[in-house]
Amino acid sequence: MEKFDSDYATVDYIKKDNIVFLVWKREAHYDNYREPATFALMLLKKYEHSNFLFDARNGFEDVESDVEWGMSFLLPEMKKAGCMQVGFILNEVNDIEDEMDMWTKAFKQYFQVHRDISYEKVLKKMLQ
């Protein structure tokens, strides 16, 4: 299976860009958060040297246990998989700026991080 789809997220591998692309459809917690993230990790492992791009425009609020899981498990495993760059698509004006700043700081410990308002703009930054 190459694609994940739920009420909370979709995850797909974009071959032409070598991107694992996770789109949050709405706020997700616990299994609804971890299942798409784990599927994305599986794709990162499958497609060597792929990069990870999150579309966080439709919801990205985390509960503490999901943050702990992400920082202690997901990020180190993404690094082990060979991921070098992570991108975030954000609304130009957003109400999750503090949350995204926290995640950006955490991701920067492992990866180059890029943020912008569209897939194309983030991808352009990744290719520079």
For the chain, the structural domain boundaries read 3-110
What's the pLDDT tens digit per position in 98-116? 777 888 899 999 999 999 9
pTM for the whole thing? Answer: 0.92
Question: For all residues of the chain together, what is the average pLDDT?
Answer: 92
pLDDT of residue 92: 78
Q: Which residue has the higher pLDDT, 103 or 123?
A: 123
Average pLDDT over residues 68-77: 95
Environment class of 55 (CB within 10 Å of its CB; exposed 0-12, middle 13-18, buried 19+): buried
CA–CA gap between residue 40 and residue 10 (Å, rounded): 9
Q: How confident is the model at residue 3 (pLDDT cuts 50, 70, 90)?
A: very high
pLDDT digits (tens, 9 = 90+) for 15-29: 999 999 999 999 999
How far apart are the C-alpha atoms of 42 and 106, rounded to whole Å?
20
Q: What is the tens place of the pLDDT at every residue in 82-97?
A: 999 999 999 876 666 6
Q: Which homologous superfamily is 3-110 in?
A: STAS domain (3.30.750.24)
3-state SS, residue 91 = coil
| pLDDT-above-70 percentage for the chain | 94
